[in-house]
Amino acid sequence: MSGTTLWWPTCAAVAWLAAGGAEGEEPIYDEARVPPYTLPDPLQLANGSRVRDAETWDNERRPELLKLFETHVYGRSPAPPAWVPFDVVESSADALGGLATRKQIVFDPTGHRGHLEVDMLLYLPNAAHGPVPVFLALNFEGNACICDDPTIRLPRSWMREGNGVVDHRATEALRGVETRHWQVEQVLSRGYGIATIYYGDIDPDFDDGFQNGIHPFFYRAGQTAPEADEWGSIGAWAYGLSRALDVLEHDPKVDAKRVAVLGHSRLGKTALWAGAQDERFALVISNNSGCGGAALSRRCFGETVGRINRAFPHWFCDNFSEYNENEAALPVDQHELIALIAPRPVYVASAEEDKWADPRGEFLAALGADPVYRLLGTDGLPAREMPAVNEPVHGTIGYHIRSGGHEVAPYDWEQYLAFADRHLQR
């Protein structure tokens, strides 16, 4: 995740606002301008009664909330296939100077070999004795970007250049451009594996009418686009992460019950939605995910529902646009998305300069999920007030706001590894 890639998700929206935006108004960056709001209670059932035990949460409230997010925000995704075809196309036990075993795997998330080729890069630490926990994350510029390894396959699918949409193939210049933001050798030296997939292999990140990625393989006869309550690109990327976990379950050197799903920016939104839907993910990490991710929609701070839907109409289901400048009508808010991950550990990270992503709104969403985590017997979030910059809090819900801007920084990885040591290491 180089400076170029990490900045274009935010800069695209900022450029759109500079052109006037739909509202012709500047975004809210002043707490005094945040509108009054009331958050929906994650522990109140649709019939008005309150959840008081884990059984009611698991069997009634959790399915209710999941359905609401499917219908109104991310869209329904297809059922998982019975089998995900995959091939290990390259393997080396002497990668990165002998530190790791590298595997390059091609799989088809549709469940039908030959429909869609997705490349997954997997590094496993050679010093490990037995199956290891793994960090799984999508990337913005192809698998070769995460470290300086000349053998990694370059993407063959759609790619973005700057803020414009183009169709070109990756070049050698992308190798290792995101090394600082992935910390691969540090992750491996701490006893974890790391797996990554270029998100464009699953679905291209522009409004193409859902014709060039995974969606057409699931259309009914005569269907040409998802229905209003069916998956957008975030749903598709999350679906791809779950299919990657299907593949990892077949590797004897991977402990598939200890896989952490991680994402930054739009891919942080994706990681949260993947973790909410797929309870096999043992730990979920959101890095600067903002609106539609960890930040509360009702605060209307920085990026709003209306702004994100107009700038990126392909990310969410069409129903989500009903809440443009109408956040109070949403039947859910993002603290309930985080609550859907309970009781599994979840980490929400913000950056001091990333006002667009609303750091306070991200903290408040984590705090809003705390009652569910405590109901289910965990310590939840060990803070009632937003912590100071660079002073992380680690419970079953973790949170930090660090100095700096919109990126995955080495400081973030230090916290994620410490959090994973607490929750994933035996």
pLDDT single digits (tens) 86-110: 999 999 999 999 999 999 999 999 9
| C-beta of residue 101 within 8 angstroms of C-beta of residue 126 | yes
Neighbours of 64 (CB within 10 A): 17
Question: What's the confidence (pLDDT) of residue 173?
Answer: 86
Share of the chain above pLDDT 90, in %: 89
Active-site annotation holds for 215: no
- CA-CA-CA-CA torsion for 227, 312, 195, 247, nearest 10 degrees? 10
Structure confidence at residue 172 as a pLDDT band (50, 70, 90): confident
pLDDT the model gives residue 160:
76
Mean pLDDT estimate for the chain: 93
pLDDT band at 17 (very low <50, low <70, confident <90, very high): very low
Which residue in the list 77, 157, 242, 265 is annotated as catalytic? 265
Whether 233 is catalytic is no
**Residues near 358 by beta carbon (within 8 Å), at least 6 away in sequence:** 290, 291, 295, 296, 299, 301, 302, 303
Asked whether the beta carbons of 159 and 140 are under 8 A apart, the reply is no
Cβ–Cβ contacts within 10 Å for residue 36, how many?
Answer: 6
pLDDT band at 9 (very low <50, low <70, confident <90, very high): very low
Over 70: is that where the pLDDT of 162 sits?
A: no
Over 80: is that where the pLDDT of 15 sits? no
Residue 239 has pLDDT above 70, yes or no: yes
Whether pLDDT at 1 is above 70: no
- Selected catalytic residue, list 72, 394, 406, 423: 406
Q: What is the pLDDT of residue 157?
A: 87
d(CA 425, CA 136): 16
3-state SS, residue 357:
helix
Which pLDDT score is estimated for 8? 38
Q: Output the pLDDT for position 163.
A: 55
State which fold the 3-423 domain adopts.
Rossmann fold (3.40.50)
